[in-house]
Structure 1
């Protein structure tokens, strides 16, 4: 579904991504792991059209999308839920959800709000509430729900667990697993290594803008050197 080859990018003279190759098949959860500042969010921003690469190729469903606008990429079904939630605090939960369908699936807004409310019962209770008054966990639910409103074929979740309590982190990962079991393909960009590996089919570990490791969670968890060097599990 997604094939990224030789992706290079940076800011002014500072290279951030140094030839990144990543692939995702339909129906997978693929985790992109690494500590803060290694280039994960830059990668997600380029794939979703928010930034432009220096070099490399991004193909989605067999079509070259490198350099397309974020609007054009959304219309093709590749949706990103950004780090930091970025809900519209002065709009209601319902209005935030409706904006998620602005570029795609607009005609099905009412139907999809009902689907989101079934996934997130707490949002159903707060549809008329201003988004800025929600808790951090509820705002993250709203951000994911807003992404779901566009009927994504591939959903990029950038650090969905950041800033959440341990209990809400467990809940968030259970939700991601459930969305995948319902057929959604997901790229999970995360620092939370252990819980990401519990739900991912495959994982890539990024360090200093390069993919240093890739494979199944079992392959990563079973190698003591990999644990010590890249996963911080020693």
Structure 2
């Protein structure tokens, strides 16, 4: 589905990404892991066209997308739910969801609205409520639901658990697993290493703008460096 090859990029003269390469196969969750500030969000922003890469290649379904505008990337079916939710607080829940189909999925808006509210029943209960009055967990559901309205062929979720209570984090990861079991491939960009590894097929650990560790989650859980550095285990 997605191939990232030797990606370099950054902000101004500051290089953040130093030759990042990874891939996502059809039907799988791939976790992009690492602590805050290592370049994870920059990677997802470059993939979705929000930041232009300095060099390297990004192939989506075999076609190059590096250098495309964010609108063109969305049109291809690659949908990015950014860190921080970025909902429209003064619009209702329904209006936020409908805006998700502004560029893609408009013809199936009613059916997709039914699908999203079946996945997130709490959003249905709050259809007419202003989005800014929702709880943090509900706002994250709304952000993901808005992304699903665009009929993604690949979904990038950037830090979906950030700022949530432990109970809501558990619920959020369950929902991500459910979406994947329904056939949606997902790039999960997260600091929460342990719970991400529980639902992902493979993982890539980012450190200082480079992929430091990679492999199946089963292999990485046994990697002494990951256990020591990221899980605090001997």
TM-score (norm 1): 0.98
After superposition, the C-alpha distances for 1:47-103 in whole angstroms (9 at most, x for unaligned) are 001110000000000000110000001011000000000100000000000000001
What is the aligned partner in structure 2 of residue 198 from structure 1?
198
Whole-Å Cα distance in 1 between the matches of residues 224 and 62 of structure 2?
37
**Whole-Å separation in 2 of the counterparts to 1:95 and 1:225:** 46
- Deviation of 1:224 after TM superposition, in Å, equals 2.1
Report deviation, 1:230: 4.4
Instruction: Give the C-alpha shift of residue 229 in structure 1.
Output: 3.2
Counterpart CA distance in 2 for 1:66 and 1:195 is: 30
Q: Indicate conservation of the 8 Å contact 1:48/1:78, yes or no.
A: yes
What's the counterpart of residue 66 of structure 1?
66
- On the 8 A contact 2:193/2:230 being kept in 1, the answer is no
Structure 1 residues not aligned, in runs of 5+: none
Runs of 4+ with deviation above 4 angstroms: none
Query: Residue 9 of structure 2 contacts residue 15 of structure 2 at CA under 8 Å; is this kept in 1?
Result: yes
Deviation of the 1:26 alpha carbon:
0.5
C-alpha separation in 2, matches of 1:17 and 1:230: 20
Q: 1:142-199, CA deviations, whole angstroms, 9 ceiling, x for partnerless residues?
A: 0000000000000000000000000000000000000000000000000000000000
**Match for residue 166 of structure 2?**
166
In structure 2, distance between residues paired with 1:151 and 1:233: 40
> Is contact 1:205-1:230 (8 Å) kept?
no
Distance in 1 between residues matched to 2:172 and 2:130, nearest whole Å: 22
CA displacement at 1:13 relative to structure 2: 1.6
Q: Is the 8 A contact 1:32 1:206 kept in 2?
A: yes
How far apart are the structure 2 equivalents of 1:233 and 1:65? 39
Contact 1:93–1:127 under 8 Å retained in 2:
yes
How many equivalent residue pairs? 234
The 1-side partners of 2:233 and 2:118 are apart by: 37
Structure 2 gaps, min length 5: none
- Check the 8 A contact 2:29/2:187 in 1, yes or no: yes
Quick one: distance in 2 between partners of 1:126 and 1:40? 32
CA RMSD, Structure 1 to Structure 2 (Å): 0.8
CA distance in 2, matches of 1:131, 1:15: 36
Output the CA distance in 2 between the equivalents of 1:226 and 1:47.
Answer: 26
Quick check: 1:79–1:152 contact (8 Å CA) kept in 2?
yes
Q: Distance in 1 between matches of 2:89 and 2:175?
A: 23
CA contact (8 A) 2:117 2:124 kept: yes
CA distance in 1, matches of 2:132, 2:48: 26
* Partner Cα separation in structure 1 for residue 78 and residue 225 of structure 2: 35
Q: In structure 2, what is the Cα distance between the partners aligned to 1:90 and 1:205?
A: 37
Deviation at 1:232, TM superposition (A): 3.8
Note the C-alpha offset of 1:24.
Answer: 0.3
Q: CA separation of 1:86/1:7 partners in 2, compared to 1, >3 Å: closer, same or farther?
A: same
